[in-house]
Amino acid sequence: MRIEKKSTLLRYVTTNENYKKIKSNVFNMLSKEFLTERGHCCGNGCFMCPYSPRHLEHTTKLMSKEEWEKHRSKSF
Protein backbone atom coordinates (compact mmCIF):
# COMPACT_ATOMS: atom_id res chain seq x y z
CA MET A 1 0.00 0.00 0.00
CA ARG A 2 2.74 2.50 0.91
CA ILE A 3 4.60 1.75 -2.33
CA GLU A 4 1.46 2.55 -4.33
CA LYS A 5 1.12 5.87 -2.49
CA LYS A 6 4.73 6.77 -3.25
CA SER A 7 4.47 5.90 -6.93
CA THR A 8 1.19 7.83 -7.26
CA LEU A 9 2.74 10.90 -5.61
CA LEU A 10 5.90 10.66 -7.75
CA ARG A 11 3.79 10.30 -10.91
CA TYR A 12 1.86 13.45 -9.88
CA VAL A 13 5.06 15.40 -9.24
CA THR A 14 6.71 14.41 -12.51
CA THR A 15 3.64 15.34 -14.57
CA ASN A 16 3.04 18.69 -12.88
CA GLU A 17 5.85 21.09 -13.82
CA ASN A 18 4.62 23.76 -11.36
CA TYR A 19 6.32 21.89 -8.54
CA LYS A 20 10.03 21.47 -7.91
CA LYS A 21 12.04 18.31 -7.42
CA ILE A 22 15.55 18.13 -6.04
CA LYS A 23 17.55 15.63 -8.10
CA SER A 24 20.50 13.69 -6.81
CA ASN A 25 22.47 10.85 -8.37
CA VAL A 26 20.21 8.04 -7.18
CA PHE A 27 17.11 9.50 -5.52
CA ASN A 28 14.48 12.05 -6.46
CA MET A 29 13.67 14.02 -3.33
CA LEU A 30 10.58 16.18 -3.01
CA SER A 31 11.47 19.73 -1.97
CA LYS A 32 10.24 21.36 1.23
CA GLU A 33 8.43 23.93 -0.94
CA PHE A 34 6.48 21.25 -2.82
CA LEU A 35 5.51 19.45 0.39
CA THR A 36 4.44 22.74 2.02
CA GLU A 37 2.30 23.74 -0.98
CA ARG A 38 0.69 20.30 -0.87
CA GLY A 39 -0.95 21.36 2.41
CA HIS A 40 -0.69 18.13 4.41
CA CYS A 41 1.62 15.22 5.17
CA CYS A 42 1.28 12.16 2.92
CA GLY A 43 2.68 9.80 5.58
CA ASN A 44 5.28 8.28 3.21
CA GLY A 45 8.34 9.28 5.27
CA CYS A 46 9.61 12.05 2.98
CA PHE A 47 13.12 13.19 3.96
CA MET A 48 12.22 16.89 3.70
CA CYS A 49 8.84 16.59 5.48
CA PRO A 50 8.06 20.06 6.94
CA TYR A 51 5.12 18.92 9.09
CA SER A 52 5.01 18.33 12.83
CA PRO A 53 4.72 15.55 13.89
CA ARG A 54 6.64 14.17 10.93
CA HIS A 55 5.39 11.32 8.73
CA LEU A 56 1.89 11.27 10.19
CA GLU A 57 -0.66 11.19 7.37
CA HIS A 58 -2.98 14.23 7.10
CA THR A 59 -0.93 16.39 9.53
CA THR A 60 -1.31 20.05 8.53
CA LYS A 61 0.77 21.85 11.20
CA LEU A 62 4.07 23.10 9.78
CA MET A 63 7.29 22.98 11.81
CA SER A 64 8.50 26.26 13.25
CA LYS A 65 11.76 27.65 11.88
CA GLU A 66 13.55 26.51 15.06
CA GLU A 67 12.16 22.96 14.75
CA TRP A 68 13.16 22.85 11.07
CA GLU A 69 16.74 23.98 11.79
CA LYS A 70 17.04 21.40 14.58
CA HIS A 71 15.74 18.68 12.24
CA ARG A 72 18.12 19.74 9.45
CA SER A 73 21.16 19.72 11.76
CA LYS A 74 20.33 16.13 12.86
CA SER A 75 19.66 14.87 9.32
CA PHE A 76 23.07 15.63 7.85
pLDDT, position 61: 94
Q: pLDDT 10s digit of each residue in the chain, 76 long? A: 344 445 555 555 555 544 444 444 445 678 888 888 889 998 888 888 999 998 899 999 999 989 888 877 775 5
pLDDT, position 4: 43
Q: What is the CA radius of gyration of the chain?
A: 12
pLDDT, position 22: 47
Domain ranges of the chain: 2-75
pLDDT, position 27: 56
Residues 6+ apart with CB under 8 A from 39: 60
